[in-house]
Amino acid sequence: MIGGDNRTGRAVIVRNPLRWDRTLAVSAAVGRYRPNDLRSLTRFILPQAGSVSRATYNKKVAHASDGYSMNSLPFRIKICGIMTPVDAAAALVAGADAIGINFYSRSKRAVTIDEAEEIRAWISACGPMRSLNQRRNTTVASVLVNPSLDEVAESLPRKENEQLRFSRRRLDWIQLHGDETPELLAKIKKAIGLPVIRAFRWGHDEPAAIEAYLNRCKALDCLPKAILIDSHKSGQYGGTGRTADWKGIARWLANGKVQVPLVLAGGLTPENVAEGIGVVRPDAVDTAGGVESSPGRKDDAKMRAFCEAASRAFGAA
């Protein structure tokens, strides 16, 4: 079942109509829907397009996947800093196949453990929007900065929800966005076993230092499943709104020394993501502030434009 709110254009997908009351309850909890709006939640409403049928909806979702080719990552377009279940749903409808949940307390997009659990429950209960055309599962990354091993574990689904970790609808990853050592990655592999994205800040982390880091990880048998290249701003671990030196990154990749997938981040917007993909040719892209109307508040139109631009660019790359 596909539903939408006539007032906001927000989309909600419920795989089982019997879960509709759960959907309304979660939506009401985040303040975007009212339970008495059931009559308006009978069809999916696209902003600026009016009511559309399921067939039209499927066609639009499929369009967001045009040009996708398989890479060694389970995702191509990641929207980070998701703070509510409704924003998660909107990101996936827009065409993202991964979201990031930020646990760094100093971030303006930080969420609590309980809020993260609500987001994960939504995705696991309703399924990813892209599952309608059987593309990919949804990757959910726990974003942490210089955590202890215990803090990494706490960011994952609680033990009473252990089955969610292995849901066919959701894939859990860990994204380390600070100064974490290879030794921590080794501990995560041994104790938790989930894939890791290790972020580096271009201009702060020199290419030779990144290569040395990856070589150390390889020696410890804990090579991250991907690296993320972000821009650098003194005193910040991300979310700078600045683009990195794309040409410099491209030259570095051309030397063939990086043998893991690369996620490009840093100041990406609907207007520049295609250029970034064309220059760097990353395996995936990641944005947060580039698709927001205000800090932490995702904008549906910007997310849709970002995903469409990225999808087209990946098809042309």
Confidence class for position 126, pLDDT limits 50, 70, 90: low
**196-202 and 226-231: which strand pairing?**
parallel
For the domain covering 69-316, report its CATH number: 3.20.20.70
Give the containing element (helix H, strand E) for 201. strand 196-202
Residue spans of the domains in the chain: they are 1-52, 69-316
Q: Measuring CA to CA, which residue among 263, 272, 290 is closest to residue 202? A: 263
> What's the average model confidence in pLDDT over 233-253?
77
pLDDT tens digits, residue range 179-220?
999 999 999 999 999 999 999 999 777 899 999 999 999 999
Which region holds residue 156: left if phi is over 0, alpha if psi is between -120 and 50, else beta?
beta
How many Å is the Cα radius of gyration of the chain? 19
Distance CA(279)–CA(294), nearest Å, equals: 28
- What number of CA atoms fall less than 13 Å from residue 241's CA on the CB side? 6
If you average pLDDT over every residue of the chain, what do you get? 76
Please report, as a single letter, which amino acid is at residue 180: E
